[in-house]
Structure formats: structure tokens, C-alpha cells
């Protein structure tokens, strides 16, 4: 069977585990991390560091921590310094200090026994290995709150106060802890908490414009040239922001939209592909929402759907929607409602989540409003509305 054409060049660049070389809009945080850990390059062994990265889902915490780890170890190797970064997801390791340390040791000794040792003994062995190899490690603990929830202050204390048991020996282990919120740190006792909260990097949510940049950067890696246009990326960013999903959600939606493009044997990822993709993740608009609309509300919504479908756009202007609505009214032999009334319908649609509208440009005549259907394919909406209108009393 012949393989169909694909819009993808390398879809692995959209995988959740892929860490891009460039992290748009996280350059400042990367520079700050490099400053915090600069001692590892300038005077390794003289001190250790503990840093917290916080931020909501989709703010790039994991990508930032792993890219930082790769960057600083590459620089260390250039200088002849034996520096390693070890990434662990505490949640995947059930919040167990034993399993976290076991993973760290296995990086250096893959055949290290998996039984017969306590967490404290593994930590001691780990430090002995680092001393023997004259190596240094930055241990990145993602979803750090899982360790806190399961083992509390005692486990964290052992890691943060490790050097107190190693007087006169080089400091070889630094910590980079990734959490969603500092609230999890409040569960720790005062002494342990004080060792963690000195250096905190908080990642703010991305704006829509920043998400467009991130998606554009990732699309250039994953898709063939001209396969994804600006309208499509803009729509994905809008949906990601509205769903509070951030970059991770947006990237997943971009991948899904690409799959719908391939399934349709298309050469571009259209806004309609995005609508189909999002309807597979987020439940479609309930039929009851459409049934409850009045006659002209249904006609106007049908006009919007057809305008978007006709031009394969992510957005249509109010003028375009009004013009399409007038054609629909002619089809159903009814007189169009006023311009003012249609504005009221638009606000109502937006309030119940049927459409999304925003000001997209400024002209000499005023603002231009872009109208989109982010959560439902135009084909599905048109079909449903036509059925309702044909059965309208």
C-alpha cells in the first residue's frame, strides 16, 4: 500500500518528551539559572546550590530544567569538568526517595543492586561514587511535590543538608526542584523550607502572542515548509489560552491537527483541522445549547460557520459574518435582523462558549472584530443547525 503524503517533516519534534534547543520567551530564566549555577563552571566542588522552579502546567518548567541541564553540562565538558545532570520525575517514581536515589546511582552504575539498601545507604554510596570519579551532579527533580507529599520534611532534609555530614569534602550534589506552586513547600518544617526558598524562579503563564511564537518555532521543526499558516497557529494559541493549557496543550493540539490533515490527505493544516482536533479533546457544544437559540440566532451562527468554511479561515470579520447571514436569511425566506441585534447575538454566543471574538486590527473606521469557532468543526455545526432550522416550527 502506497504511503500517503504527509504534512509532517518530523513529528517527533512535537512529542511531549522532546526538548528543543531554543526556548522562546524563557531566555531570561535560562540566564538566571546559569548565574545561579555558575560556580559549577568556575569553582566546582566549592559550593552546592538549591533552586526552585515554579509555574502552572504548560509554562515550560520541564523543558527549561532539562535544556538548562544539557547546556551547562556541555559547557562543563568543554572546560574539562566532570559535571552531569540527572533528571527524575518524582511522580513517576511514586514520590520515593529510595527510587529517586536508585535512579541517580544507576546513571553511574547500571548494575547497582536494586534491593538490600536503605535510602540513606544509597545516598552514601552515591556520594562515594562521585568522590571516586571526581564528578559533580545537578539532580533535577520534576514534580517535586510528590516527594514532599509522600515522605515529608525528612527526605528533603537529607538532600538539602547532605554536606553537613561531609565536612572537609568537596560539595558534589546540587538540586534543581520543579513544582507547580510554592504551597507544596509550605508542608515542610521551617528548617528544611529555609534551605529551599532562597532561590526561586517563577514562570508566568504565556500570553497568546508568546504561544504563537512557541508554536511557530515548533512548527518549523515538525512540519514541511508552508504546511502550517499563521491563522492556524493563531487559532491554536487562542484555544490554549482559553483552556489554561499553556504551551504543552498547544503543542499537542498542533500535532493532532496535523494528524487530521494527513487523514484528509491535505497538504496544509487548516483551521478546520484544528477544530476537529480540539473537538476530540474538549467535548463538543451540547445540542441543547443550539436548540435553545432563537431562529435568527441559529441563522446568524449558520452564517458564521459558512463564512469560515467557505474561505477556510480561522477568523471572519463581523462584516463578513453579517453578509453571510443575509444570504442565509434569503435561503430561509426571512428578513435579516438589524446590525445592532446581531452584535447582541454575538455577545450571547461568546458568553456561552459557542464562538470566540476579539479585536484583530485597527482601521480608520475603527476596530475590526475577528470571530472564530474554536471548539467545533464548521461541517458539524452547519449540519446540526440546518437540521434544527428545517425542523423549526
Q: What CATH number is associated with residue 61? A: 3.40.50.300
Q: Are residues 216 and 306 in the same domain?
A: no
Determine, yes or no, domain membership for 241.
yes
Determine, yes or no, domain membership for 18.
no
Looking at residue 286, its pLDDT comes to 63
Q: Are residues 210 and 335 in the same domain?
A: no
Residues 6+ apart with CB under 8 A from 260: 269, 273, 276, 277
Q: Of 226, 247, 240, 312, give the one whose Cα is nearest residue 278.
A: 240
Confidence of residue 87 (pLDDT cuts 50, 70, 90): very high
Residue that terminates a domain, selected from 202, 223, 246:
202
Mean pLDDT score, 332-340: 94
Q: Are residues 76 and 182 in the same domain?
A: yes
Domain of residue 168: give its range.
Answer: 27-202
Given a cut of 90, is residue 292 above it in pLDDT? Answer: no
Given a cut of 50, is residue 99 above it in pLDDT? Answer: yes
pLDDT tens sequence across 252-269: 999 999 999 999 999 999
User: In this structure, how many other beta carbons lie within 10 angstroms of the beta carbon of residue 233?
Assistant: 25
CA distance 170 to 372: 60
Q: Are residues 80 and 194 in the same domain?
A: yes
Determine, yes or no, domain membership for 9.
no
Q: Are residues 309 and 334 in the same domain?
A: yes
Mean pLDDT score, 328-341: 94
Q: Are residues 250 and 319 in the same domain?
A: no
Residue that terminates a domain, selected from 263, 279, 295:
279
What global pTM score does this model have? Answer: 0.84
Looking at residue 280, its pLDDT comes to 80
Looking at residue 283, its pLDDT comes to 56
Of 83-92, 100-109, 165-174, 345-354, the range with the lowest mean pLDDT is 345-354
Q: Are residues 252 and 313 in the same domain?
A: no
Q: Which helix (H) or strand (E) holds 230?
A: helix 230-242
Determine, yes or no, domain membership for 336.
yes
pLDDT tens sequence across 50-63: 999 999 989 999 99
Q: Are residues 41 and 123 in the same domain?
A: yes
Q: Which helix (H) or strand (E) holds 300?
A: helix 295-311
Given a cut of 80, is residue 8 above it in pLDDT? Answer: yes
Q: Are residues 159 and 308 in the same domain?
A: no
Identify the CATH number of the domain in which residue 221 sits: 1.10.8.60
Q: Are residues 112 and 157 in the same domain?
A: yes
Mean pLDDT score, 271-277: 93
Q: Are residues 139 and 272 in the same domain?
A: no
Looking at residue 393, its pLDDT comes to 54
Confidence of residue 115 (pLDDT cuts 50, 70, 90): confident
pLDDT tens sequence across 170-185: 999 999 999 999 998 9
The backbone region for 60, taken as left when phi is positive above 0, alpha when psi lies in -120 to 50, beta otherwise, is: left
Confidence of residue 112 (pLDDT cuts 50, 70, 90): confident
Mean pLDDT score, 111-139: 92
Identify the CATH number of the domain in which residue 381 sits: 1.10.10.10
Q: Are residues 291 and 260 in the same domain?
A: no
pLDDT, averaged across the chain: 90
Determine, yes or no, domain membership for 13.
no
CA 373, distance to chain mean position in Å, is 22
Top-confidence residue, 28 or 184: 28
Looking at residue 155, its pLDDT comes to 92
CA distance 134 to 142: 26
Report long-range pairs for 187-190 (Cβ below 8 Å, ≥24 apart). 187/148, 187/149, 187/152, 187/153, 188/148, 188/152, 188/153, 188/156, 189/153, 189/157
CA distance 191 to 211: 39
CA 117 vs CA 35, 102, 148, 192: distances in Å: 36, 10, 21, 25
Q: Of 14, 35, 31, 41, give the one whose Cα is nearest residue 67.
A: 31
The backbone region for 94, taken as left when phi is positive above 0, alpha when psi lies in -120 to 50, beta otherwise, is: left
Given a cut of 80, is residue 1 above it in pLDDT? Answer: no
Mean pLDDT score, 282-294: 73
What are the residues facing 356 on neighbouring strands? Answer: 372
What is the percentage of the chain residues whose pLDDT exceeds 70? 94
Top-confidence residue, 211 or 164: 211
Determine, yes or no, domain membership for 269.
yes
Determine, yes or no, domain membership for 330.
yes
Determine, yes or no, domain membership for 121.
yes
CA distance 71 to 60: 16
The total number of structural domains in the chain stands at: 3
Confidence of residue 131 (pLDDT cuts 50, 70, 90): very high
Top-confidence residue, 252 or 369: 252
Q: In what order do the strands lie in the sheet with 83-89?
A: 83-89, 136-142, 173-179, 50-54, 200-202
Looking at residue 390, its pLDDT comes to 85
Looking at residue 364, its pLDDT comes to 44
Confidence of residue 367 (pLDDT cuts 50, 70, 90): low
Given a cut of 90, is residue 119 above it in pLDDT? Answer: yes
Residue 334 DSSP symbol: -
Residue that terminates a domain, selected from 257, 279, 301:
279
pLDDT tens sequence across 193-208: 888 878 999 999 999 9
Amino acid at each position: 500500500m502506497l504511503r500517503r503524503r504527509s504534512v509532517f517533516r518530523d513529528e517527533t519534534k512535537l512529542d511531549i518528551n522532546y526538548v528543543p534547543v531554543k526556548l522562546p520567551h524563557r531566555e531570561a530564566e535560562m540566564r538566571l539559572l546559569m548565574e545561579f549555577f555558575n560556580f559549577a563552571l568556575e569553582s566546582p566542588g566549592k559550593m552546592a546550590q538549591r533552586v526552585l522552579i515554579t509555574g502552572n502546567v504548560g509554562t515550560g518548567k520541564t523543558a527549561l530544567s532539562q535544556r538548562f541541564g544539557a547546556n551547562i553540562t556541555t559547557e562543563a565538558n568543554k572546560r574539562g569538568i566532570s559535571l552531569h545532570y540527572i533528571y527524575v520525575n518524582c511522580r513517576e517514581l511514586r514520590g520515593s526517595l529510595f527510587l529517586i536515589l536508585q535512579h541517580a546511582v544507576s546513571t553511574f552504575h547500571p548494575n547497582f543492586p536494586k534491593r538490600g539498601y536503605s535510602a540513606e545507604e544509597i545516598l552514601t554510596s552515591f556520594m562515594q561514587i562521585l568522590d571516586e570519579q571526581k564528578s559533580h551532579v545537578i539532580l533535577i527533580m520534576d514534580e517535586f511535590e510528590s516527594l514532599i507529599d509522600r515522605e515529608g520534611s525528612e527526605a528533603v532534609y537529607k538532600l538539602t543538608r547532605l554536606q553537613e555530614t561531609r565536612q572537609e569534602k568537596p560539595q558534589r550534589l546540587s538540586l534543581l526542584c520543579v513544582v507547580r506552586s510554592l504551597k507544596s513547600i509550605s508542608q515542610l518544617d521551617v528548617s528544611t523550607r529555609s534551605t529551599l526558598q532562597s532561590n526561586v524562579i517563577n514562570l508566568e503563564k504565556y500570553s497568546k502572542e508568546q504561544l504563537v511564537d512557541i508554536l511557530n518555532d515548533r512548527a518549523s521543526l515538525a512540519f514541511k515548509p508552508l504546511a502550517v499558516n499563521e491563522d492556524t497557529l493563531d487559532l491554536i494559541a487562542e484555544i490554549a489560552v482559553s483552556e489554561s493549557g499553556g504551551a504543552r496543550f498547544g503543542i499537542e493540539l498542533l500535532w493532532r491537527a496535523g494528524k487530521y490533515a494527513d487523514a484528509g490527505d491535505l497538504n496544509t493544516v487548516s483551521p478546520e483541522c484544528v477544530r476537529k482536533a480540539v473537538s476530540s479533546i474538549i467535548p463538543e457544544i451540547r445540542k441543547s445549547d443550539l436548540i435553545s437559540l432563537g431562529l435568527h440566532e441559529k441563522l446568524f451562527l449558520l452564517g458564521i460557520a459558512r463564512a469560515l468554511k467557505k474561505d477556510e479561515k480561522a477568523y471572519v470579520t463581523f462584516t463578513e459574518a453579517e453578509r453571510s447571514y443575509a444570504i442565509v436569511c434569503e435561503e430561509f425566506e426571512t428578513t435579516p435582523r438589524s446590525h445592532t441585534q446581531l452584535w447582541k447575538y454575538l455577545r450571547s454566543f461568546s458568553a456561552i462558549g459557542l464562538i470566540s471574538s476579539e479585536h484583530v486590527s485597527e482601521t480608520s473606521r475603527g476596530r475590526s472584530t475577528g470571530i472564530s469557532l474554536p471548539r467545533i468543526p464548521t461541517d458539524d455545526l452547519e449540519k446540526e443547525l440546518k437540521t434544527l432550522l428545517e425542523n423549526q416550527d
